[in-house]
Structure 1
Amino acid sequence: MFACSRRTLFIHHRLYDAYLPDAIQDAFTVSAAYCNRTVETVDMVLRILENKAANLVKEDRKSNSLEELLASVQALLLFHIIQLFDGDIRQRFLAEQNMDILRTWTAQLQDRVSDLDSTPTWQEWIFTESARRTVIISVFIDGLYSVLKTGQCSNIRALSVLPFTSGATLWDLTSSASWLAESHGLRSHTVLYGDFSRAFENGRVPGKLDGFQKLLLAPCVGERYREVLEIEA
């Protein structure tokens, strides 16, 4: 998704319109190279990935702005996903070495992202919601990997209390004018992960599910809703 459309389920397509951090440039380069890898180039692609991830984790985050911290977490998360699930043993080992760093950065990001103002601007909401979703996906991937390794999710409670804005309407808007028209009652759309999962099982999530909602629900409700939760590429 990132290589083809500069967006993911946790990176808004307008998040980096004005400012493009080095970490995100590296993440885009790696994503594009990985998606277009061939038998002849895969070794080089993984070497580039390894180098970019190593350089990222070496950087000092203590004096970083919140914007730089978000970019770093998103970039490391993209690297992490590739390294954990590519199947290459060395890359998986390296990702495991960086798990504590990603957890620390994620916790810092969660602590530094304040609650939404009652009337945020569109750009402020884009940043805050991208940060919220980035935190959720980081904790989500951590839990998913623990299930694959040990058979148990290590952070169900932490996941259940993470907030996000439910539904694709606000996330998919393309202009500030449409934001002004649609953003009334913004706080009523903010839900906790656990509450959202229970609401879905009780039939209280109206309308069509978007990709982010489906991803969150997949490990919670399992095979019963397999067809409903299929995510389109």
Structure 2
Amino acid sequence: MQGNAPSSIPTPPDFNSLDSLMTLRATPLQPPDFSHIYGVDDIMLLNAPTFPLLPAAAVSRVQFAFKQLQDAPRMMVLENQTAWCHPLLYRNKMPRSIRGFGRAITKYFNVLDAYSSCALHLARNAANSAMISSIIESRVAEIITSEQPNTPLECLARVHALILYQTIRLFDNDVSCRLAAEVAMPSLRAAVVALLPHANFEDTLSLSNVATRFLSSSEGSFWETWVFEESARRTMLLSNYLTRIWELMRGDQGLHCDYKLGFSHCWYVSSQLWEAKSPYEFAVAYAEKSRFLISNLDFTDLLVHGKPEDVDMFGKIMLTGRLGLDAAQEWFASRGAMF
């Protein structure tokens, strides 16, 4: 063996930061042999993985997020929420299919299909597994072949539904389910791109009179707007996290770090604001509790001045992604709390 011969083993990517995990360059795509499954011709598959095992540093950053993603269908069914979807977001305005020309036309998919698919997934057993998988796959086929909506709520609901379908199938022990989920990844990416114009990545709570406005019955829509905006902000980040970590586990290469998750972003860390159930509760939390605007994964202010009770589940997902699970647990413990 010649000492100067180039190594045939590729250098593993850099896992020093969450940005490196989440800003993966897409692997060149190739046409699949079974695009007819969804009735479309332009779905592509990623190349085969080259790094099937992750370094311990990477596992420390993503394992908590994986656990929460796996739990998302259960959370949606039992609690009507996820860490990125506010429990009151669809309370009075569940997106539905529209009708036209005298027959049903699926222009805007029914997000209830994703909700009911989660319930079916939780009820799956050896006897009904094949039937439930078939139902879920047919619903995925409908959503990814339907027209992309253009209203803010419908765009957000489409991404939420696709995330739920992907969490059901990506973490399934059935190889065919995981393969089908991989086929649908470009559709999730496209839905996220369509949502981006409706996502407000600004400090929308910087108004000096915001507490007074929330207390006014005429300003109830201000809180509803925040619920949508914060759900959209979190959903954009979580979608990026899900797709990029999946690519990471496949062994995709070409990582680089831009410290922005691919785009400038922000969201609020404040469990009190997120868990408020009315404009009044939100106004009280705004006036009396701390809140931290996390921009481009900069947790400095939170780590110095924050308390464990300020951090909700989404904050934990992103905090562990940035620091690693051990460091996040140490921060909680140093303030007298369990992670």
TM-score category (smaller protein): 0.7 to 0.9
TM-score (norm 1): 0.85
> For the Cα contact (< 8 Å) 1:144–1:153, is it kept in 2?
no
> For the Cα contact (< 8 Å) 1:139–1:155, is it kept in 2?
no
Is 2:292 the partner of 1:189?
A: yes
Give the share of equivalent positions with the same residue, in percent.
25
* 2:317 pairs with one of 198, 215, 226: 215
Structure 1 position 136, deviation (Å): 0.8
1:84-103 alignment runs, 5 A limit: 84-103=170-189
Quick one: higher RCO (CA 8 Å, sep 6+), 1 or 2? 2
Which residue identity lines up with residue 220 of structure 1 in the other structure? R
Structure 1 position 126, deviation (Å): 0.3
| Paired position in structure 1 for 2:133 | 46
| Paired position in structure 2 for 1:138 | 239
Structure 1 position 163, deviation (Å): 1.3
> For the Cα contact (< 8 Å) 1:143–1:155, is it kept in 2?
no
> For the Cα contact (< 8 Å) 1:122–1:176, is it kept in 2?
yes
- What is the CA RMSD across the aligned residues, in angstroms? 2.8
> For the Cα contact (< 8 Å) 2:86–2:227, is it kept in 1?
yes
1:99-178 alignment runs, 5 A limit: 99-114=185-200, 115=202, 116=204, 118=207, 119=210, 121-150=222-251, 157=258, 158-159=260-261, 161-178=264-281
Residues 134 and 185 (structure 1), Cα distance of their counterparts in 2 relative to 1, 3 Å cut:
farther
- Whole-Å Cα distance in 1 between the matches of residues 243 and 323 of structure 2? 19
TM-score (norm 2): 0.60
- State the structure with more CA Rg: 2
Structure 1: which 5+ runs fail to align? Answer: none
- Whole-Å Cα distance in 2 between the matches of residues 73 and 154 of structure 1? 25
Structure 2: which 5+ runs fail to align? Answer: 1-74, 97-109, 211-220, 333-337
Structure 1 position 180, deviation (Å): 2.2
The structure with the greater share of residues assigned to helix is 1
| Paired position in structure 1 for 2:121 | 34
| Paired position in structure 1 for 2:41 | none
Is 2:307 the partner of 1:204?
A: no
Figure out how many residues of one structure are paired with residues of the other and give that number.
226
